[in-house]
A and B are shown apart, each in its own frame.
Chain A
Amino acid sequence: MAASAPAPIIRLVDIRKTYITGDIESHVLSGISLDIYPGEYVCIMGPSGCGKSTLLNVLGCLDQPTSGDYFLGGQNVATLNDDDLSAARNRNLGFIFQSYNLIQQLTVRENIAVPMYYGGATDEQMRTVATKLATQVGLDHRLDHKPNQLSGGQQQRVAIARALSNSPLVILADEATGNLDSKSGKEILELFDDLNRQGKTLVFVTHDERMVERCTRVIRLKDGLLDRDEPGAQSHRTQTPTAA
């Protein structure tokens, strides 16, 4: 292994997640180890119920694993208290959900700036960054609209802009195109392609096999275990340490 290999943004070591409902223990994640490096576009695939969303929640510091270590940007997440976890989500992670999850009473501009708001940005910073990002996702003419005045595709663009607003280490998306028709879904996927080309690190949970064409790495889960870890069609964009 080359000494000059970049440090992983995400390192999972034997992550397990067990839910106990009554007397029944269900092992949703049964020991997953995984490194994700800067610039990767990782697709996580697998049959329904195999634990993809659970894994993404762990990655997103929204849920704590039952056992195992998770290092985010070199920091062991298990040592963080609730406020630190909030700060870690705020600074290091961008979230994109299947159902957009915008805040209804806020305008597009305000929605984009929510992570900055909790990061302590000034009004001025929030305004400029939100305007810039809205332009980037093609919504500069909708800045003062409310979410319910936008189409699904437009709402998901707002969510993408919001995920970018604090320049996080990695963007996590759970079936981000699941609620969209094929045309606007394709537009969203092209936006993701652009982001990855600009060097953003993406982790994308999906059922869509065509995503293999767009990503740099495909991880397949099966029954809570890592089944296969293979390069995607765009793997030339990154130089994974294993390849080096």
Chain B
Amino acid sequence: MLANRPILRLLTSPQHLWRTVSLGMKSLWLHKLRSMLTALGVVFGVASVVAMLAIGEGASYEAQEQIRKLGSQNIILESVKPPENQSGASEARSLVIEYGITAKDIQQIRGTVPGIEIVDPSRSLTETIWNLDKKAEGQIIGALPMYPEMRNRHIVDGRFFSDLELDQHLPVCAITVATQARLFPLSSPIGKSLRVRGFYYKIIGIISDENGNTDPAASGPETTAQLLIPFSTLLDQFGETFFRYKTGGFEAEKVEFHQAVIRILEADKVESRAAAIRQILSTNHKKEDWRIVVPVELLKQAERTKRIFSIVLGSIAAISLLVGGIGIMNIMLASVTERTREIGIRRALGARQTDIVVQFLIETVLLSGIGGIMGVVLGVSIPFIVSHFAGVTTVVQIWSPILAFSISVITGIAFGIYPANRAARMNPVEALRHE
């Protein structure tokens, strides 16, 4: 009964399956070098798929991590100095350039957009920060006590300033790890003071850098040194107008808020709220002196990019596996011709066409399957080596080797069917006469 359906028999009888597989192995073993070279095509195809997926996945993971640090439920408003040609004629003549997010904007957003939690407005300016005779160019940020929480910044040491200190306009500050690395390379900064222009600030805490780094030793020169003081203190001491020295004179600018973070309470409303806020800002501002950053949108953008990347990758993978498959087909066709006699003998002794098909298909599946396994091993070790030596994040997802392996086996079957059928269709008499 089962003998009439070789494939069914193969699937239902482990003994028979084993027999067929070991027969296939014997035939492949007869031409070790040839079999190995054929499998190599699949090895490299599968390995490149797994490795590229891991590197691509790692890159997008890194991008997503950075976006996520901005807070997925946050919307960030930033003041942008408008390009010269956009400044109105009246402003061009005035000494003070006035631009950016205003209290009126914030007020209006708070009043009209529902389900939001205000907001973390801050102002910043670039200044030289002094520790005795050591100095560093850095950013002075006037912030609210909720700043670390809103920006996903960790307290590394000490504490951030409190509501009380904000209310009393106290000259206290928190510094970032990068600032510590530059101004306090040897000793602990807590309790010491820093000077900006003529003002002194007592350091009460250390927070992580913008990129999340918490280790002063790992803080590179590209990270901006930051000094955070109560918003009220900043207003007191630097006023509403900032003067900045420029070549050939100095320029003054008036910015109410450099930045404000708005938290949207319902995660699925972030985009519609962002649209409402955009609406408000574009009616309020004639110039493009503001910018809105919606991390969720960036995340979606990153996912779109990743999808395109995956399609490109998929095509490359498909091509490399196609090449591997053609290699298999080529060898199997040669093998069928070479073994015409064997096929004739088997047919004479009672093999059905399906028996011959199964025999040759098993061989191609073994070739591609063994190639696939070796490819997966190689493909998993490449990202490992890359991240170890090049310091690039790579992410091998469980499904990627499984996918690559299955595709290699399917390729083997697809490209094995034609040679196997050709073997099975041979006329037994002619096959037996073949030299």
A residues in contact (CB < 8 Å) with B: 57, 60, 62-63, 82-83, 86-87, 89-91, 95, 97, 101-106, 114-115, 117-120, 122-123, 162, 166
Contact = CB atoms under 8 A, between A and B. Distances in A.
Nearest to B350: A90
15 contacts: A60-B348, A62-B428, A63-B428, A82-B353, A83-B4, A86-B351, A86-B352, A87-B350, A89-B350, A101-B345, A105-B29, A106-B26, A118-B352, A123-B15, A162-B349
Given A105-B27, A106-B26, A114 B429 contact: no
Interface of B: 2-4, 9, 15, 19, 26-27, 29-30, 341-342, 344-355, 428-429, 432
A105 B429 contact: no
Contact of B349 (A63, A104, A105, A114): A114
A57 B432 CA distance: 11
Contact of A89 (B4, B341, B349): B349
A36 to B, nearest CB: 19
Given A101-B432, A104-B30, A105-B27, A123 B350 contact: no
A105 B4 contact: no
Contacts of A123: 15, 19
B350 A103 contact: no
B3 A86 contact: no
Contact of A90 (B30, B349, B432): B349
Given A83-B4, A101-B341, A104-B30, A118 B349 contact: yes
B127 to A, nearest CB: 83
Nearest to A106: B26
Contact of A118 (B26, B27, B350, B432): B350
A95 B351 CA distance: 14
Nearest to B28: A105
Nearest to A121: B3
Contacts of B350: 86-87, 89-91, 115, 118-119, 166
B429 A86 contact: no
B339 to A, nearest CB: 9
Nearest to B30: A105
Contact of B352 (A82, A162, A166): A82
A97 B349 contact: no
A83 B352 contact: yes
B345 A103 contact: yes
Contacts of A166: 350
B429 A63 contact: yes
Contacts of A103: 342, 345-346
A87 B346 CA distance: 12
Given A103-B345, A105-B27, A120 B15 contact: no
A83 B429 CA distance: 16
B348 A83 contact: no
A74 to B, nearest CB: 19
Nearest to A100: B345
B373 to A, nearest CB: 23
Contacts of A104: 30, 342
Contacts of B344: 101
A101 B354 CA distance: 21
A117 to B, nearest CB: 7
Given A90-B349, A119-B3, 17 more contacts: A62-B347, A62-B429, A63-B428, A95-B348, A95-B349, A97-B432, A101-B344, A103-B342, A103-B345, A105-B26, A105-B29, A114-B346, A115-B349, A118-B350, A119-B350, A123-B19, A162-B349
Contacts of B347: 62, 86, 89
Nearest to A119: B350
Contact of A120 (B3, B29, B428): B3
Contacts of A105: 26-27, 29-30
Contact of A57 (B346, B354, B429): B429
A148 to B, nearest CB: 11
Given A83-B353, A123-B15, A123-B19, A89 B342 contact: no
